[in-house]
Structure 1
């Protein structure tokens, strides 16, 4: 489906990208799209056509590499979800996108471990998606109620996760000439998280939060 209604097209310019075009574009970055650690942000994510396709590639890659050891699958599958971010103007699309990705994750997980899947992992993913898929305007960098968009970074440390929150404006308003982060040890612009502190926790504990 590319259009929900003519009125929404007129009011918001809402037209969804066709699955064929989505996959053709992702094929151009196929290695990154299948890597559970590579971060993707869709600034007008709609109901998640791009994010869903990326998640499918990431989960299939995780299963292919880790399906023999469930604990390794669980760690990397959740890691794949933490790497996906989206901003969407319309609240109904946000809710649909979150639910779509959650259902996709849970179905993939249960399909591979029908007798031993843990509900807590689905709950953890639900929480992650509530922080990663946000209702707001990617142009003004504000949420629907006028607050700064705040994204959560989920840093995996062995079998635990450390949460840090960042103001999105601080990530994009890099006033220096330095690149955002650096994988080669060169000087870089490193944004600072908010003052909110979260304890290091396991994914299972995160799901019970």
Structure 2
């Protein structure tokens, strides 16, 4: 069923321009079946359409475009583990060193932890009662390897406009270094 549903949006998952950055949100992520299938399709398309030297960068941007919310703690953890395993398997299959101390591993884990969150979609709150926050990752114009991170709340999506102005901005950085979280000065 997951594949049949994703077959309805082929351009967003690999056949259309800008597919890597097309955003997906699973508001009831469960143990990650949809998230995993989306990532798998994006990685397959990256492998087919990009030179090998760009796979790490583009696969990290693919991770940055996939969001999920899950209420149950065990499902949330499983979903994140599946996403990381899929990402690492793709790169290890191609001879990329991806272990817990590499930037690739740390960046992937950070993106997944940031984008796959635990909370209640109906209320827009996390388990502590705070608003669910996401990071919006955008490529920096003029340098496709840099990313700009801006925070927004899930509930701002319901109003039709992101609430970027309420939060501190982060400094642009290479996508492989997002786990370092450098904040902008001033």
**What is the TM-score normalised by the length of structure 2?**
0.85
Cα RMSD for the two superposed structures? 1.7
Q: 1:116 to 1:103 in 2, by over 3 A?
A: closer
- Distance between the aligned counterparts of 1:123 and 1:162, measured in 2? 17
Q: 1:146 to 1:117 in 2, by over 3 A?
A: closer
SS of residue paired to 1:153: strand
CA-CA distance at 1:115 after TM superposition: 5.3
SS of residue paired to 2:131: coil
Aligned partner (choices 103, 118, 122) of residue 135 of structure 1: 118
- Distance between the aligned counterparts of 1:73 and 1:57, measured in 2? 14
Match of 1:155 in 2: 138
What stretches of structure 2 of length at least 5 have no aligned partner? Answer: 182-186
Q: 1:117 to 1:142 in 2, by over 3 A?
A: closer
CA-CA distance at 1:104 after TM superposition: 0.4
Match of 2:26 in 1: 42
Aligned partner (choices 170, 173, 176) of residue 201 of structure 1: 173
CA-CA distance at 1:95 after TM superposition: 1.0
Aligned partner (choices 107, 123, 127) of residue 144 of structure 1: 127
CA-CA distance at 1:137 after TM superposition: 0.7
**What is the TM-score normalised by the length of structure 1?**
0.77
Alignment of 1:116-127 (within 5 A): 119-127=102-110
Alignment of 1:34-73 (within 5 A): 34=14, 35-66=19-50, 68-70=51-53, 72-73=54-55
CA-CA distance at 1:192 after TM superposition: 3.0
Q: 1:117 to 1:97 in 2, by over 3 A?
A: closer
Task: Count residues in correspondence.
Answer: 171
Does the Cα contact within 8 Å between 2:13 and 2:45 map onto a contact in 1? no
What stretches of structure 1 of length at least 5 have no aligned partner? Answer: 1-20, 175-189
CA deviations over 1:92-146 (Å, ceiling 9, x no partner): 111111111011001101212x156682112101101111111111111111111
